[in-house]
Amino acid sequence: MAETLTERSQKILEAIIEEYIATAQPVGSKALAQNHEIKLSPASVRNVMAELEELGYLASPHTSAGRIPTEKGYRFYVDTLIRVNDLDKRQKDQIGLQYRQHGLQMADMLRVASRTLSSVSHYTGLVMIPRLKVTIFRHIEFVRLSPQQILVVFVTQSGLVQNKLVKIDEDLTPRDLEQITNYLNQTMTGLTIQEVRARIVTEMAQEKALYDHLLRRAFALSSAALVDETTGDVIIEGTSYFLEQPEFSDLNCMKRIVQTFEQKSILIDLLDRGIDTEGVQVIIGSETEYSELSDCSLITAAYSGKRGTLGTLGVIGPNRMPYSTIIPIVDYTANLISRLLDTDND
C-alpha cells in the first residue's frame, strides 16, 4: 500500500525500476545517485534501498551489489507510481495505418492487430479470436462424416471460418441435414448462435407442429456445436522477441516459453480473465498462476463490437517490461479495433 512507503522511498523505488527496465542490470546506489534527481548521497540511497529490500520491494542478486525489483515492487510501481502518457500522433498513425492497408474484415483485422502489437511494442502480441457464441453468422453448413458424427462449418459475416466436430445420437440423412441447414441459414442471418437458439425455442413454444421435428433437430445441432466451446483460439505474433531478452537466455527457460505458446490453453485462460474488465489489466509474474510464466507479465484489454465484448488482446513479455509504454499501446489498439468493428458487420 502507498502509505507504507515515504515519498523518498517511492521516488527511489521508481528510479530503480525504470533503470532496471532500461538496462536489465542490477542498480547500485552510486549509479542511482548520479543518474537520477534523487538529491541524496550514495550512503543515504543505500539505506533506503536496504529498507525497500527488507519490505520486499527489491532483491539482491548474489552476483551483484545492486538491487533488482521484485514482483511486489513491480506491482506497486504499476498501481501507484507509473505515469502513463497518451500515444503521440506518430505512434497512433503507425498503428492505424496497418488497418487501412488491410481493409476491415475481422479475420484480417485480428491478425494485423496481433502483428502490430508485436512490432510496435517489440514483445509478443496476442489476440483472442471471438467465441462462436458471440459472433454473428452469415452461413452454416453440416457435413455428415458418419452416422454419429457431423462436421459443422460456421462462416461469420466478417469472414471468419470455424469448424467443429459434433457427435449426435440420431442418424441424420443428407436430406435431413439439408433441411436443417436451409432452415438455420434463413433464421440466423444477422444473429449470434445464442439468438438463433432462442428464436428456435420461441417457435417451438408456438406449437408449429409442421416444423416441430425439424426445429428440435436444428436446436439439438446448434446446441451441440456450442458444447464445451471453451478452448477458443489465440493469434500469436512475435515470439522471437523473447530471444532478445536476457531473462530468457537460458535454453530451458526459453523452451518452456515456446511450449506454453504452442499449447495456447494457458494464454487463452489469461486472456479470458480480462474479458469482463474495463480498461487495461496487468498480470505480473506469479499472478498468472502458471509456473511456466513466472518470469512474464501480460498486459491486456478487451475489444468489442456492436453487440458487446468479443475478446481480449494484449502483449506478453518479461516482468521487466516498460509498462508506461506498453499500456497505452494495448489500450489504443483495443479501442481502435472496437471502433472499427462497431462500423463493420462483426
The single-letter DSSP state of residue 306 is: T
Residue intervals of the chain classified under CATH 3.30.390.10 are 133-226
Total residue length of the chain: 346
Whether the model pTM is above 0.85: no
Report the chain's mean pLDDT, rounded to a whole number. Answer: 85
Query: Residues 257, 298: contact at Cβ < 8 Å?
Result: no
Q: How confident is the model at residue 32 (pLDDT cuts 50, 70, 90)?
A: confident
Q: How much is the average pLDDT of 63-81?
A: 92
For CATH 1.10.10.10, list the domain ranges present in the chain: 7-81
CATH entry, 133-226, from 3.90.180.10, 3.30.390.10, 3.90.1580.10, 3.40.228.10: 3.30.390.10
Q: What is the mean pLDDT of residues 273-278?
A: 87
132 with 226: CB under 8 angstroms?
Answer: yes
Is 338 or 204 the better-scoring residue by pLDDT? 338
- Summarize the confidence of residues 153-179 as an average pLDDT: 79
- Calculate helix-pair angle for 174-187, 193-205, nearest 10 degrees: 100
Secondary structure (DSSP) of 5-56? S-HHHHHHHHHHHHHHHHH-SPBPHHHHHHHSTT-S-HHHHHHHHHHHHHTT
State residue 48's pLDDT score. Answer: 93
Q: Distances in Å between the alpha carbon of 124 and those of 38, 85, 121, 240, 249?
A: 34, 21, 8, 8, 16
d(CA 292, CA 62): 23
Distance CA 284, CA 81 (A): 16
Q: What does the pLDDT look like over 92-130, one tens digit per residue?
A: 988 888 777 655 677 788 999 999 999 999 999 999 988
Provide the pairing of β-strand 124-128 with 137-146: unpaired
Residue whose entry in the numeric block shows the C-alpha cell 491486456: 300
Put the strands of the sheet holding 296-305 in their side by side order.
Answer: 234-237, 124-128, 308-318, 296-305, 280-284
Classify 264 as helix, strand or coil. coil
- For residue 144, list its beta bridge partners: 150
The correct answer on CATH 3.40.50.850 for the domain covering 89-130+231-344 is no
In this predicted structure, what is the pLDDT of residue 149? Answer: 86
Residue 165: what pLDDT? 83
pLDDT(29) > 90: no
Helix 89-102 with 106-121: angle, nearest 10 deg: 150
Assign domain 7-81 to a CATH class. mainly alpha
Number of neighbouring beta carbons within 10 Å of residue 181: 19
- pLDDT tens column, 286-326: 999 999 999 999 999 999 887 778 899 999 999 999 999 99
Domain(s) labelled CATH 3.30.450.40 in the chain stretch across 89-130+231-344
Distances (CA, A) of 309 to 144, 199, 287, 301: 33, 22, 24, 11
